[in-house]
Structure 1
Amino acid sequence: MKILSVSTATNHLSVALNNYETIVEEKNEQDQRNHSEHLDPMIAAILKENNLQLKDLDRFAVAIGPGSYTGLRIGITTVKMFASILNKEVVGISTLQALAKSIDEQNTLIVTGLDARNDNYFAGAYVNNAEKMPEMVIPDGHYHIDVLLKAVSAYLAENDLTKVIFVGTGLAKQDEQIKAMGIDYTYATEEQNELHAGLIGQLAVTAQPVDPDQLLPRYLRRTQAEVDWHKKTGKPFGPDSDYVEEV
């Protein structure tokens, strides 16, 4: 199965070609902040270097969030278009699960997080199963650090795990609070803290394909536009596009 995977969820742009779990090629670009300009050329380069065309692929995969609102839409819109036009399979992968996939240790709680500022994080926690696939044990969500660490402590108290690895961005600045928990913990390497499309491709092998029209971002918190719309209209939150007004 040939899988093209994309991540535009963070400031790290990543595109990969997988053959099942094997990462054939991965291209990465750090902190350029112009994913909309660079994504298509990176895809074209990977295909050309491997003598493939889009029609030769079997499945598309993309990080669906959490992450940058604009960034997520760039990646998701791209793979939705490819899958729809070419009638190919498409899957969405949690950004946080993809970060957890960089850790292959077992009997370890893998806490993944993206800095959401003001001591808040888009975060979740995972444990690798026998096949070293990360399974979610603390749901992906938008957490204040106090709430997140309380959930970590509760999980450790109820399960036979003693080691924790923190993966992602901004978690090390909470070291004083983490150290106060009295747990055995480490931080992931710089490489592991980046979101890699090749790992998204590995997760995509067993993920359930969805209709391209049903592939939507998982922001894990409301956009400011949605909040403002809700305050103005008093209407309940609905599907992704319901809050847009005519002007």
Structure 2
Amino acid sequence: MKILSMSTATSDLSVAIRQDGQLTFAKMEKNQRNHSVDLDPLIEEGLKETGLTLKAIDRFAVAIGPGSYTGLRVGLTTAKMLASILGKDLVGVSTLKALALNCAGRNALVVAALDARNQNFFAGAYRGQEAVIEDGHYALGDLLDQIQALPDQEVIFTGSDFTKYADAIKEGLAGKQVTFAEGDDNLLQAGQVALLAEKAAPIDPDQAVPNYLRRTQAEYDWQKKTGQAFEADSAYVEEV
């Protein structure tokens, strides 16, 4: 199987190609915020380097959220378009699950998180590829309470820069061994998205939507202005 994967969920842009279980191309452009311009050239670079064409790709995979609202739309729109036009599989992969995979195999609970500001995080906790705290939008204190209740004695945090919260995290997880991932282990990599996509069930491109995990400010503003209930097609986000 040939998988082309992409991530535009964070400020880092990442594209990878996986062929028959082997990663044959992976490139990341760090701190690039113009994903709508840079994504297509990076895909073309990957195809050229591997000698493939878009028609040769069996499955398109994308980090589906959580993450930057604008970034998620760029990646998912591109993946949906390619899968739909070419009649190929589309797979959406959890941003947090892909992040957690950076630290898999260390015999520890891996907490993958993205800073949602004001001591709130998009976060999930994983043992290997098993989610033991489901992806969600959590206040830091609530997240730590849930982790503390788990039997795991070793906990690794990956994703966001946790250094400014290190004291609060260690205090909230007293009795556990807490470490913080370093370097590229904190970055969302399209190669991990491709790996997870190998065994994932394809989704209908026409029905695929970003997994924001909370409503956008525009939705709240619209409801406040109109007084109308959220539409049914907004059910994929959860108000917290």
TM-score by length of 1: 0.91
Name the amino acid aligned to 2:69: Y
Which secondary structure state, in structure 2, belongs to the residue aligned with residue 81 of structure 1? helix
Q: Which residue of 2 aligns with 1:143?
A: 138
Q: Note if 1:73 corresponds to 2:73.
A: yes
CA 1:240–1:173: 2 relative to 1, 3 Å: farther
- Which residue of the other structure, out of 167, 190, 194, is the alignment partner of 2:187? 194
Q: Note if 1:127 corresponds to 2:127.
A: yes
Shift of 1:107: 3.4
CA 1:81–1:59: 2 relative to 1, 3 Å: same
Runs of 4+ in 1 over 6 A off after TM superposition: none
Matched residue count: 233
Q: Which residue of 2 aligns with 1:166?
A: 157
- Which residue of the other structure, out of 212, 215, 224, is the alignment partner of 1:222? 215
CA distance in 2, matches of 1:176, 1:191: 23
CA distance in 2, matches of 1:142, 1:153: 17
Q: Which residue of 2 aligns with 1:15?
A: 15
Shift of 1:241: 7.3
CA distance in 1, matches of 2:15, 2:161: 24
- Unaligned 5+ segments in structure 2 are 236-240
CA contact (8 A) 1:83 1:89 kept: yes
- Unaligned 5+ segments in structure 1 are 129-133, 243-247
Q: Note if 1:234 corresponds to 2:227.
A: yes
Work out the percentage of aligned pairs sharing the same amino acid: 55
CA contact (8 A) 1:22 1:202 kept: no
Shift of 1:165: 0.4
CA contact (8 A) 1:18 1:198 kept: yes
CA 1:87–1:142: 2 relative to 1, 3 Å: same
**Of 104-113 and 36-45, the range deviating more from structure 2:** 104-113
Shift of 1:240: 4.7
CA contact (8 A) 1:20 1:205 kept: no
Q: Which residue of 1 aligns with 2:149?
A: 154
Shift of 1:171: 2.3
TM-score by length of 2: 0.94
Q: Which residue of 2 aligns with 1:60?
A: 60
Name the amino acid aligned to 1:165: I
Q: Which residue of 1 aligns with 2:197?
A: 204
